[in-house]
Structure 1
Amino acid sequence: MQACDTADDRPCVALYWDFENLHASLWETRQGEPYARNDNRFKVQEPLVDVQAVVDMAAALGPIAIHRAYCNWQYFGRYRDLLLQNAVDLVQLFPPGGTAKNGADIRLALDAMEDVGRFAHLGTVVIVGGDSDFMPLAQKLRAAGRQVVGVGDRRSTGRHWAASCNDFRFYESLPPSPPASVDGPAAAP
């Protein structure tokens, strides 16, 4: 397997986010009630996810070649700057039905399988989300010779999903990203 960066001989990383899944899990932990209650999922969301912490963890595995996040972004605009700073390819998913279930899971799985089939330099696939529906994807990716790293909230991650990965990182165990500078870049002397 070839590396995607001539300065870095490690195989490349593909990072896929089921973004609302992680956000909802963190919201439920904070609020102590179901995320979907009172149509919360159809309201503008406050940022809860430390995007940079996840990106830093993935970048430690190798150069990130694919960075894609799936969500109904109309409610997640407050994450805009964090996502843009990390060059995340945002995949907009409008829910076709009232339940809005599994749209991100299915699209993420299809894209991941297509990408590993097209790009031999992808050695590690990171999937952010605690949903056990990703188990078959992990099995297929591992059969294709890829390392699978899962990331999910400790409280809501399915144990079978975590076990299906080569490595699983609980979001709460990731080192937090350093606070952003309020002053911006320092002026040259």
Structure 2
Amino acid sequence: MNQTETSLPNRYVIEDKHFSSDDKFVIADADGNVHYKVDSTLFVLGDKLTLYDAVGNELIRIRQEKLHLHPTYNIYSIHRDAEETQLASVKRTGPPTQRKLEISTSNGDYVMENRGGPFSREFLLKKDDSIVALVTKDTAPLKDTFWVEIANGTEEYHAFIMALIIVLSCAQRLPGNPLATPHQGNIKV
């Protein structure tokens, strides 16, 4: 999972377009250069998403497991021959107001948790108590925006981190979740 990616930024903007007919998520740097796109499979039970690089190469598949008390997702790396290798299993734990993801990988365990109170829009992604990324969420009526800052010096696979943010977005769309409703204002980076 610690793959070398050259010339990638440390800051990303992820737009979750709720009513879009094309890409469900677009992931760009702060200058607007698109690095990844995510499409969803329509008319299926549970989330089925695919993350592509900017030129359309399939990198990661995200699949929601059904029949779990808490939302559970699997993240797969895709090889050129379309063979899947599981990268992680992600589970939202605790009550909806806790908004915590536990991530199990063969490369160690991660946790993404809310930073602050139940209505805070900041999340920390940590591995072995070291901060990997800071995520800030802003909502609008037609889209959610996530601002992601990856810690300097980290060698984490950026596409994998983006997949974790996508899972965070999907896991928050449950009924009664306070983050599922829009708020007024903008978060500035």
- Under a length normalisation based on structure 2, what TM-score does the superposition of the two structures give? 0.31
- Under a length normalisation based on structure 1, what TM-score does the superposition of the two structures give? 0.31
Greater helix content: 1
1 or 2 for the larger relative contact order (CA 8 Å, sep ≥6)?
A: 1
For the pair shown, which has the larger CA radius of gyration, 1 or 2? Answer: 1
Greater strand content: 2
